Structure 1
Amino acid sequence: MKHRKLGSELTVSAIGLGCMGMSYAYGGQEEAKSIETLRRAVDLGVTFFDTAEVYGPFENEILVGKALKNVRDKVVIATKFGFTFGTATPGTSPINGVDSRPEHVKEVADASLERLGIDHIDLFYQHRVDPKVPIEDTVGAMADLVRQGKVKAIGLSEASAATIRRAHKVHPIAAVQSEYSLWTRDPEAEVLPTCRELGIGFVPYSPLGRGFLAGAIRSAESLAGNDWRRTQPRFQAENIKTNMTFVETLEGIARQKKITPAQLVLAWVLHQGDFIVPIPGARKINHLEDNAGAVDVVLTAQDLAAIAAAVPKDSIAGKRYTDEGLKMVNV
């Protein structure tokens, strides 16, 4: 496994593991299988694990803490705060708002530490920017947690370039996490250049297009009935049909290179900069092992041009979130 830096504080595996789907949004799975996958990730050299209080809510942090308890000194654990929750009915989100008031930030940190069973959080992200609370106040509270030894490094998720700059003036930001892949390229305009300039790591979530770019989803019917993706624009029948043409072209390029589509797509992300550490989700060990192999894929300039031509910018059918979800990104 190769390694990369996130800011000045953290050295992590070049590919991390997004743990959300084990407990939340994609249907989940049995705890024993999730623990087996998490421990196999460690065996493969993965050292960077991503969770959040919202995943469950709360269940995923407990799972991650339980699975990694015996290897705590070998791993970097990232978690996130920033949402408030209500009572969710089947098929709906438990999220009912955002809250990044300083007192709430500190409350969540203490609760996350307890659920994870650790004495400090390696990377603590604001999950979504709270428009009601100045970013300086939120980051000030996060900086207090660093001084107290409860948090090692801090990050932002789905923040705009202007917000990142304001936050970084208060306390060094180690990482910015946003959706980024061949089918979500918006960070390239301002966020990636800002991270590169300021020495901030960039952590793409959903680097496989929520599994779609890996060829894992050929129709909405292949998703579980309670899978959150069924509610999202890109996973509606007509959009899936249109977007499959891009996947089929990528599959052809992957065959020529004798790698899998997932490895091709992840390698493309890795080649966008050495400060980038994608965190593909994987519930099954074979998918995990496949993803990990992407660190050894070398793409030539010709390969990169062919991949870019296969999925031109702004060509994907459907928005990446519903209109309501889009209100909380690039804030």
Structure 2
Amino acid sequence: MKQRKLGQHGPLVGAVGYGAMSLTDFYGPATDEGSLRILDECLDLGMTHIDTSNRYGSGRSETLIGTWLKRRRGATPFSIATKGGITANPDRPQNNEANYLQQELDASLTRLGVEMIDLYYVHRRDPALDIEAVTETLAGFIKAGKIKSFGFSEIAPTSLRRAHAIHPVAAVQSEYSLSTRYPELGLVQTCAELGTTLVAFSPVGRALLTDRPHTAASIAESPFLQGNPRFMEPNLSANLEVNARFRTLAADFGVSAAALAIGWLVHQGDHILPIPGTRHVAHLREVAAGGNLNLTQDDLARIDAALPVGWAHGDRYSVAQWNGPEKYC
């Protein structure tokens, strides 16, 4: 697979990483053995960046990755990212205080079974704290030898600039795809300017941009999708009708819709790193193929014509799901 650099000073990783939320039951039932097979396949496909969080399955995703690493033994073949900063306290859903992040980081290191984490994100910014102070805390973790680099998830370009003025920020994670192009209103550009990798989660639109989009039955398995505006009627039917054009275009190119969606993202800049997630090996191979597509400007124009900016019906989050991400436009 093609490779790209993770941050200004980070390692080379596969142009497509893996989003390990799917190792839990978030989008439907997942088995431990099935999840371990997915990690085997990631390595075989060259998807060498694994992106997880202490919140995915209440630590289950990290534990499974740790189990895989223990079975393999020897040097870790992946660049591993995880996150901290979200709490179970409804009165303070985000906590970026140094003591709390230290506690969460230590627990993640234990579950993963590693001495150092390659990339550690603040999962959601704490509005009670200046981002400069949080950046100093993260820089302290580097000095302590617990992490190699750090990033933030779902922050605004202005917040990134403030953090970067204190210490280089290796990555910002944000939802970015053909169905969610909000980052193009400043985040894509700021990341490129500062040498920060934009790690794009949900790069196939939570399956909207695949040949097998969610059905009512599969949506019923996920409380998140049940409450997400794009997967509620009448938006769901409208979205499926519109993106049928994209599925037809992918077939004309001779690739899967998922591969084409990933390929489009990879071509948005050398600093863009999609991290699709899946519980199925066949789908994993489809998204990995997107990392090797060579698309011309004419190809990209045809994709934009099939799914022009703003085509999706419904917001990407409900009011409740918007708790934490920074809005900036």
What's the TM-score, normalizing by structure 2?
A: 0.95
Distance 1:145 1:26, change over 3 A: same
Residues 280 and 291 in structure 1, CA contact (< 8 A), matched pair in contact too: yes
Q: CA deviation at 1:218?
A: 4.7
Which residue is 1:292 aligned to?
A: 288
Which residue is 1:82 aligned to?
A: 85
Q: Give the whole-Å Cα distance in 2 for the aligned partners of 1:295 and 1:52.
A: 24
Q: Give the whole-Å Cα distance in 2 for the aligned partners of 1:119 and 1:31.
A: 23
Q: Give the whole-Å Cα distance in 1 for the aligned partners of 2:250 and 2:315.
A: 26
- Percent pairwise identity: 39
Residue 272 of structure 2 is aligned to residue 276 of structure 1: yes
For 1:123, what is the secondary structure of its paired residue? strand
Q: Give the whole-Å Cα distance in 1 for the aligned partners of 2:148 and 2:221.
A: 39
Q: CA deviation at 1:72?
A: 4.3
Residue 223 of structure 2 is aligned to residue 220 of structure 1: no
Which residue is 1:46 aligned to?
A: 47
- Cα deviation 1:10-58 (Å, max 9, x = unaligned): 3211100001022142123110111011111111111100110110111
Which residue is 2:305 aligned to?
A: 309
Alignment of 1:1-331 (within 5 A): 1-7=1-7, 8-69=9-70, 70=72, 72-85=75-88, 97-330=93-326
For 1:153, what is the secondary structure of its paired residue? strand
Q: CA deviation at 1:224?
A: 4.3
Q: Give the whole-Å Cα distance in 2 for the aligned partners of 1:246 and 1:79.
A: 35
Consecutive unaligned residues of structure 1, counting only runs of 5 or more, are 87-93
Residues 210 and 257 in structure 2, CA contact (< 8 A), matched pair in contact too: yes
For 1:128, what is the secondary structure of its paired residue? coil
Residues 69 and 76 in structure 2, CA contact (< 8 A), matched pair in contact too: no
Greater mean alpha carbon deviation, residues 31-40 or residues 219-228? 219-228
RMSD: 1.6
Q: Give the whole-Å Cα distance in 2 for the aligned partners of 1:157 and 1:254.
A: 30
What's the TM-score, normalizing by structure 1?
A: 0.94
Greater mean alpha carbon deviation, residues 51-60 or residues 297-306? 297-306
Q: CA deviation at 1:223?
A: 2.7
Q: CA deviation at 1:244?
A: 0.9
Distance 1:95 1:230, change over 3 A: farther
Q: Number of paired residues?
A: 324
Q: Give the whole-Å Cα distance in 2 for the aligned partners of 1:153 and 1:246.
A: 40
Q: Give the whole-Å Cα distance in 2 for the aligned partners of 1:183 and 1:201.
A: 20
